[in-house]
Structure 1
Amino acid sequence: MYRVWNFLVSYSLLLIGGSVIALIWANIDAKSYHHFVEFVIWDHAPIGHLHDGHRTLTLHYLVNDVLMALFFAIAAKEVWEAIILENGSLRGKKAATPLFATAGGMFGPIAVYLGLAMILGSETYDAVANGWAIPTATDIAFSYLVGRMVFGSGHPAVRFLLLLAIADDAAGLIILAIFYPSGDLAPEWLLLSFGASLAVFLAFNALPRKMDSGNQDRPNSTWVRKYLGFWPYVLGGCISWYGFMRSGLHPALGLLPIVPAIPHADRAFGIFSEAEQYLTDLLNVMEHALKHPVEIVLFFFGLCNAGVEFSSIGDATWLVLAGLIIGKPVGILIFGWVAAVPLRLGIPEGMRIIDLVVIGFVAAIGFTVALFVASVAFDAGPVQDAAKMGALFSFGAAILSIIAGKVFRVEKQSL
């Protein structure tokens, strides 16, 4: 239990705290809460929401569109390493069944969400259809925490769940970029983003390594690392973020092009592994330096997004919940079974097919990413609030996961 509490404190407590404060505040004094969230930091700013022909930087925009870029950069780092490294967790046959299960964990919720919306009638469907991606989300931190509680730290299902969550993050980033632009599209601005990434990669990563070829002392790479450090990538990241903002894509994804440009290790242990702290490549150093700032960002994200009045519960609430707690387990079970049995891709030794159902309930904890998608899928108003409530209620999937673990007789395994 100490390890579980330590994990909760390290990764989740501030986010939960911000969300609880927001819920209480919004239900006691909604007017002052919304005044706080939409507080204008800088009118006629170079960045921010377009308002009467000019940009206005509000607290909500600063948190969701600027600072959350750091959170998505960390998620992108894990996805990038899982794909690009020779022994990356999303490469090879070992990743095949989790990837199939990930697809099921996305198509299942979409089918349930949109199917039930159609049953409720065309008026409801038209109002909520744009939120189809909300129940596809899996909160990697909370799911990992609950997965360890249900299966034990040494169960192969925990690693399976982590692979699924990382792949889900990758798909979620693609969905956000393609289906949820923040404004009118101006894709030519993406040349600025990818140009900045290419420039810093060539000048501060590839070129020094090329110049050091055959020299084990690596003097040029060492000089760049010692005297310039992460600053070229910070500058490149700012330029990339601005390019995303002007392109119409969601600016919270603006740091994604820079992540592959940063020097990285030839191995990775995973986002929740203590061994990661001993890797000294620049990408890992930057990730660890961002850990505590991102925790504070997540506190404000919860504070600025979870303030929903209980009276706002509506159709979108139940559709999001149904997509998560029905669509996730069913989709993961069906697609995982197809991969493991008919396609003969197998599942990890020590796992049972029925464990996929339990994994599905654990993965149904959408929370952070579901809350974020709800905020971009709908304009501020009753439907957005109802969808956000569904994302918050997805915490209930943790209880269902524990019950499912008991029903299907999961045997906990420790490291």
Structure 2
Amino acid sequence: MYRVWNFVAEYSLLLIIGAVTALIWANTNAESYHHFVEFVIWDHAPIGHLHDGHRTLTLHYLVNDVLMALFFAIAAKEVWEAVILKNGSLRGKKAATPLFATAGGMFGPIGVYLGLAMLMGSDTYQAVANGWAIPTATDIAFSYLVGRLVFGAGHPAVRFLLLLAIADDAAGLIILAIFYPSGDLAPEWLLLSAAGAFSAFFFFNYLPRRMDRGNQDRPNSTRIRKLFGGLPYIIGGCISWYGFMRSGLHPALGLLPIVAAIPHADRAFGIFSAAEKHLHDLLNVMEHALKHPVEIVLFLFGLLNAGVELSAIGDATWLVLAGLIIGKPVGVLLFGWIAAKPLGLGLPQGMRIVDLVVVGCVAAIGFTVSLFVASVAFDVGPVQDAAKMGALFSFGAAVISIIAGKVARVQKQEL
């Protein structure tokens, strides 16, 4: 049904290699590692970190703020198709209970994280409070892989987990945009982002389709596609990214507006679907073209962000882990039960209430997005390093999930 193994190998294997390399490097020669991360590519650049009144483009900024926009664009593509297309996985009643569970899987970690931080004292709370969103994340690829191992590929809980993870990604993008700006807000620059996306959509998508109305051959749309390909959307994406960067919103989200402007398929087949490789709409074609570049980007992201010295383990580490490993299962269970029972929305046939606990344990693997949020929630220093260590340690949720599956007597169902 799904090519999850290929997806993990394609998008996550290099990420793991980069993260492991960073950990080894940072713990054997921390000075050279940090010098590499902050290597200055271009001083007095038109983009980059503000430094003494001018912008400096460092290697870290290039990867986290520029190139990671490609990764978030792919995530946004999956969310967009799940919401807007016929048979989209986040449409209709089938998505109601997973959406409730997603809310629980976010509020639960936030409550545990901030609640424990308050118990640790006001100084600790003030130091770590801004990291409340770190444990709300769910790593789609790794969680889905572990979900298959625990439940079997044919179990309805795996589909439930996938819906939860997609919705979690969507909420995470909103949280990053609203609560973690990269600088002083200048929202008027978002008009530039909107103009870039709207112009590409209107002149190269909507107008040709409008001219082709009633003509099944679609000559105008075909001519525009042959002449320009994805170039108008690449230019529109660059304009949109620049608008985000100047607006103060995190520029890694700068390609989100252009995703909705690109011509897309009429039906959604779902993330990891083998059928998507046969689709030739421009949105899928551009995603396929980004596959290998994004692999390299994720390797660089792991290399530049996971280099934490083991001595950095601290309060933020345990708070992130507690939020994920305790808050996720509790939140998913509570909100999922409310949706399924009191609200009468039900669970997929063949899925039990106790399975929600196991789903919550699997969803506690934060890794990629948790690591990213940690890098923007805190300034460079011991608190950021400690929070990143918590994101890395969240891999331990895989072991907990397998144990939880045994305790809950999950009956694996293969396809």
Normalising TM by the smaller chain, what interval?
over 0.9
Q: How many residues align?
A: 413
Give me the whole-angstrom Cα distance separating, in 1, the residues matched to 2:345 and 2:36: 52
Contact 1:7 1:145 in 2 (8 A): no
Unaligned runs of 5+ in 2: none
Q: Which residue of structure 1 aligns with residue 162 of structure 2?
A: 162
Deviation at 1:271, TM superposition (A): 2.0
Aligned identity (percent) is 85
Q: Does 1:108 align with 2:112?
A: no
Q: Which residue of structure 1 aligns with residue 179 of structure 2?
A: 179
Give me the whole-angstrom Cα distance separating, in 2, the residues matched to 1:126 and 1:14: 35
Contact 1:85 1:267 in 2 (8 A): yes
Residue 110 of structure 2 aligns with an amino acid whose one-letter code is I
TM-score by length of 2: 0.98
Q: Which residue of structure 1 aligns with residue 368 of structure 2?
A: 368
Residue 154 of structure 1 aligns with an amino acid whose one-letter code is G
Give me the whole-angstrom Cα distance separating, in 1, the residues matched to 2:79 and 2:4: 24
Deviation at 1:88, TM superposition (A): 1.2
Residue 403 of structure 2 aligns with an amino acid whose one-letter code is I
CA-to-partner distance for each residue in 1:314-354, whole Å, 9 max, x for gaps? 00000000000000000000000000011000010111110
Deviation at 1:8, TM superposition (A): 3.4
Give me the whole-angstrom Cα distance separating, in 1, the residues matched to 2:87 and 2:275: 16
Structure-to-structure mapping, 1:15-414, within 5 angstroms? 15-414=15-414
Tell me the C-alpha RMSD between the 2 structures. 0.9
Deviation at 1:79, TM superposition (A): 0.7
Give me the whole-angstrom Cα distance separating, in 1, the residues matched to 2:226 and 2:165: 35
Residue 284 of structure 2 aligns with an amino acid whose one-letter code is N
Residue 56 of structure 1 aligns with an amino acid whose one-letter code is T
Contact 1:102 1:332 in 2 (8 A): yes
| Secondary structure of residue in 2 paired with 1:262 | coil
Deviation at 1:10, TM superposition (A): 2.2
Contact 1:366 1:391 in 2 (8 A): yes
Residue 295 of structure 1 aligns with an amino acid whose one-letter code is E
| Secondary structure of residue in 2 paired with 1:258 | helix
| Secondary structure of residue in 2 paired with 1:57 | strand
Give me the whole-angstrom Cα distance separating, in 2, the residues matched to 1:275 and 1:249: 35
Deviation at 1:227, TM superposition (A): 1.3
Give me the whole-angstrom Cα distance separating, in 1, the residues matched to 2:45 and 2:158: 45
Deviation at 1:11, TM superposition (A): 2.6
**Larger CA deviation: 184-193 vs 145-154:** 145-154
Give me the whole-angstrom Cα distance separating, in 2, the residues matched to 1:173 and 1:41: 28
Q: Which residue of structure 2 aligns with residue 14 of structure 1?
A: 14
Deviation at 1:291, TM superposition (A): 1.1
Give me the whole-angstrom Cα distance separating, in 2, the residues matched to 1:285 and 1:7: 17
Give me the whole-angstrom Cα distance separating, in 2, the residues matched to 1:382 and 1:324: 20
Deviation at 1:7, TM superposition (A): 4.5
Give me the whole-angstrom Cα distance separating, in 1, the residues matched to 2:384 and 2:12: 24
Deviation at 1:86, TM superposition (A): 2.6
* Structure 1 segments (4+ residues) deviating >2 Å: 3-8
Deviation at 1:161, TM superposition (A): 0.4
Give me the whole-angstrom Cα distance separating, in 1, the residues matched to 2:379 and 2:16: 24
